[in-house]
Structure formats: C-alpha cells, structure tokens
Amino acid sequence: MVRQKRSRTVDLDFTLRKVFGKSGFRPVQREVINAVLEGHDVFLQAATSFGKSLCFQLPAVLDFGITVVVSPLLALMNNQIAGLRAANIKVATINSTTTSAVRTSILDDLKCGHPLTRLLYVTPEYCAMDHFRRILRVIHEQRELARIAIDEAHCISEWGHDFRPSFKELNFFKKEFPDVPIVCCTATATQRVRDDIITTLALSERNLKMYTMTTSRPNLHYEIRFKSDEVDQYDDFISWIRAVHGRRRKDAARASQLAMQDERIDNVSGIIYTLYRKDCELLAARLRDDGIGAKPYHAGLTNSDKDAHLEGWVSNKEGYDVIVATTAFGMGIDKENVRFVVHWQIPKSFEGFYQEAGRAGRDGKASLCIMYYGREDRDRAAGMLARDQARKENSKSNKGGMGPATQAAALGRAKSLQSLIAYCESTSACRHQLICQYFGEDITPECEWACDWHKNATALVKRKEEGLASEEWCSTQRERGLYSVDDYD
C-alpha cells in the first residue's frame, strides 16, 4: 500500500545535512528516497559508490519504525555501521561476532515492539531463524516494521540457488508482511539477475519502482597488464608503486600539501585482490619486506586480525596502506581515498571484477584499476569454476537434480567468466564501453583517456602480443593438468 505523499523537502535536506553531514543530494537520490518514503518497493541499481546506502539509511532516520537491513558480508556490515555510529544514529547488528550480552540488549529492545534501534543489520541466515521471525511479527503488529532493505541484492540470485540458500528464503518477508516495503540495492545485475530477484522476493509490479542507472565510473582508469607464468609480475607492481611515491615526494607543492594535511607521502591507499589465501599472505609479507605497509585480509584470519587490518586501513594508519585480500573483502567496502585496485589474477566473474574495482576512487578522483591477466590464470579460473560447479551438483541439496533457476545461475556464472576473459583479451574497444555492454547498457560512456585502449590502442596490441603465453602452449599445459588449483576463498 502506497503511503500518502507529504511535503518533506525540508525534512530531507535538513536530515541530509544535520545527520549525514552532506551538503546536497546526488542525482536521483532524492527521487529514490521519496519513493522509499512513500512506501513503494524499490529496486535500485546504480554504479559502485553512487550512494545507494543513503537511499535506505536516510528514510530509516526520518521515518518512524525500524529498518531491517539484510547484508551478505560481515566486513560490509561493520563498515556501514561504523559510519552510522559516527553520525550518532541508533544502529545495531546481530551476527556471528556479536557478544551474547550485546545480543541480549538488542533483542530486548526489539522484543518490546517499539524499538529505539533505527537500523538493524543482519545476515540472510539470521532472517531464517524462528526466534528472529517471532520478534519481527511482534514489531510488525505494533506497526513499527518500517521496511526491509536488501543490500547487494544480486546475492539472492548469485548465491541463493546454492551455497547460501537463506537468500532465497527472504521471500518470507512478502509472505508474512505483504504491506512492508522492500528496498533492493545492487551495482551489478544483468536482466536475468534482476528478474530473478524480483520473482524470488515476490515484489509486485504494481507497487514497484525500478531505478536502473549506468554502471559507468568515468574516474576509474582501467588497464590490463598482460603476463605469463614465466614472469613475476611483482617487479612490475613494485616499480609502479615506488614511482608513485617518488612522484609525490618530488613534487614540492604536493609534498607540502600532504604535510599540511598531516598525510604521509607513502599513504597511497590501495587493494590487491588475489584468488588464493596463500598468495595473500606471501604477497603482503613480500611488500612489507620492500617497505610497503601491506596487510592480508582473508577468511582464514581470526576476526580480531581482520577487524584490526580493516580498521588500520580505513584510518590510514602507517603500515596499513595496502590491503592484500581475497574476495572476503569486496562488496560494499567504502573508503574514499582508495587510489588503486589491482587484480593479481583474473577473478572468477565479471561482477566480482566490477565490484572490486569499484572500491577505487569513491571520492570521485582519478584512480587506477589494474588487472594482471595471463592465459594460464584464465585456465585456472575456469578450472575453479568447473570444480565449484561439480561440487554443487554433487551436494546433498541437489540430489534430486538442479532446478531451472539453479541451472540458469550456473550458466550465468560460466557466461560471466567468459565475458570477463573477452574483456581482458579485447584490444579493440574502450574498457568502459565493454563494462557497460556486459550490464546491458546501450550507451557510449564517458572515457577521457581513462582506459588502456583510449590511451594507446597500438601499444595495447603490442603489449598483448609480447605479454601472453600462446594458446598452443596453454592447451598443451592444460592437457598435462598443470593448471590444477589449490583451495581458495
């Protein structure tokens, strides 16, 4: 049911400034926020760093009742919660790291039916728990369940059909509380994924407002650096980062500006993504040996190490300039001054690549996204995907055969990697254009020399010829089983 429209311009602008400390809305944010406040279900797809979170956070502060935010990753929850707490917003999270005393006090607040908590961050798995559902019913009876926000909503389609089935069970919300609006936010959804999310959540077209904006990020400079197993790309990277530090040091005006802002010359904040945990540790250690403040981040670290590394990096602490991470550190992480994102190998999906590269340049300043691409790594990534797929097919939950949605998701994953390979191998189109094309956008995105093709297409062709192993070589190596892979995550 659409709520009656009321004049709230003053409230919106006031809350934006006073609570969130922002001077104005970005394009389309106001429109989306109004739709949310009017009680529509909202599907918001927009580029990384667009400011999608504000579209459910501001209504949560302004409106009455509680907003339940379903979020897939702990790092992402913690990152958003830290920002909200800094703005004095009453926010809570219940997840595997919440202590029992804190959990009890949050649950006490919820159980009364009139919670003081404005935003509650939970995982989809927690939403599937009976005791939590009982509490939600109490809050709903008191008409205090304002809305459900599903952050990174593409996970419903990417993960819900196999390894995190609780995403699929989020259909519980519309079944039990059809009058409670749902807001879905994502930066990465193809048409198939959008349709899948809407069907899974049972969002009705009558009350649904769709906002699909461009994925283009003109301030990101995309570049492929071709490599083969024969060459250690470390030398290339370390020369590059040292050159960046050197330029900052040599430029007297820049150096004194940094000194005045109490910033270090070598605080060039960045992320390096690797597919394997062992690379993560080794690379971070190697960088530290070479004087670069680098820390690892992967699922095998203790929670306290992960928190310390994330916190040090976010606060620009010395020794924490570069995070070397697996995909455990990706979606949604928001830090404004990330000047580079490097993919040490090709990731397993186009969406993953776009999400991870999207951590760069969130302050709107030019930032570099480098991918080291080798055909041997391509074959390893394909091998991983095939192995993941075989595991899923053999898993208990698929004993009766894979359903059509599960099959479509599997096909989607294979297509995604194929498209990313085509992106890396391409020497005949703008990288921004290729990204938009993948997400189904029929536009020519802005690219002011912001990709390797636009910078020098001839040099790109040459670098590819010189840098990659030949297909013949890769196929013989494949036949000999040389690209089998270790465990990763």
Ligand X SMILES: Nc1ncnc2c1ncn2[C@@H]1O[C@H](COP(=O)(O)OP(=O)(O)OP(=O)(O)O)[C@@H](O)[C@H]1O
Footprint of ligand X on this chain (CB under 6 A)? 22, 25-26, 29, 46, 48-54, 187, 332, 334, 336, 358, 362
Q: How far is the CB of 335 from ligand X (least distance, A)?
A: 8
C-beta of 68 vs 183, nearer to ligand X: 183
Question: What token pair was written down for 106?
Answer: 């949050």
Q: How far is the CB of 297 from ligand X (least distance, A)?
A: 17
Q: How many CB atoms lie within 10 A of CB 421?
A: 18
Q: How many CB atoms lie within 10 A of CB 88?
A: 8
Spatial CB neighbours of 13, under 8 Å, sequence gap ≥ 6: none
C-beta of 195 vs 336, nearer to ligand X: 336
C-beta of 57 vs 433, nearer to ligand X: 57
Distance, CA of 483 to CA of 76 (rounded, Å): 33
Nearest to 451 by CA among 483, 426, 477, 418: 426
Whether the CA torsion 270, 274, 280, 284 is positive or negative: it is negative
Q: How far is the CB of 70 from ligand X (least distance, A)?
A: 14
Q: How far is the CB of 64 from ligand X (least distance, A)?
A: 23
Q: How far is the CB of 276 from ligand X (least distance, A)?
A: 24
C-beta of 1 vs 86, nearer to ligand X: 86
C-beta of 341 vs 420, nearer to ligand X: 341
Torsion of CA 59, 60, 61, 65, to 10 degrees: 120
Question: What token pair was written down for 426?
Answer: 């391409």
- For residue 363, the SS3 value is coil
Distances (CA, A) of 349 to 76, 170, 188, 191: 20, 24, 11, 16
Q: Which single residue brings its beta carbon nearest to ligand X?
A: 51
Q: How far is the CB of 358 from ligand X (least distance, A)?
A: 5
Q: How far is the CB of 59 from ligand X (least distance, A)?
A: 13
C-beta of 44 vs 322, nearer to ligand X: 44
Q: How far is the CB of 456 from ligand X (least distance, A)?
A: 29
Distance, CA of 13 to CA of 432 (rounded, Å): 33
Distance, CA of 230 to CA of 234 (rounded, Å): 12
Nearest to 333 by CA among 152, 116, 150: 152
- Beta strand pairing call for 119-122 and 41-45: unpaired
Q: How far is the CB of 78 from ligand X (least distance, A)?
A: 13
C-beta of 354 vs 372, nearer to ligand X: 354
Question: What token pair was written down for 341?
Answer: 């994102």
Q: Where on the phi/psi map is residue 68: left (φ > 0), alpha (ψ -120 to 50), or beta?
A: beta
Distances (CA, A) of 102 to 105, 109, 130, 132, 338: 5, 11, 20, 15, 33
C-beta of 26 vs 134, nearer to ligand X: 26
C-beta of 368 vs 382, nearer to ligand X: 368
Amino acid making up residue 160: G
Q: How far is the CB of 229 from ligand X (least distance, A)?
A: 32
Whether the CA torsion 20, 58, 56, 438 is positive or negative: it is negative
C-beta of 319 vs 364, nearer to ligand X: 364
Question: What token pair was written down for 468?
Answer: 């990659």
Chain Cα centroid distance, residue 200: 21
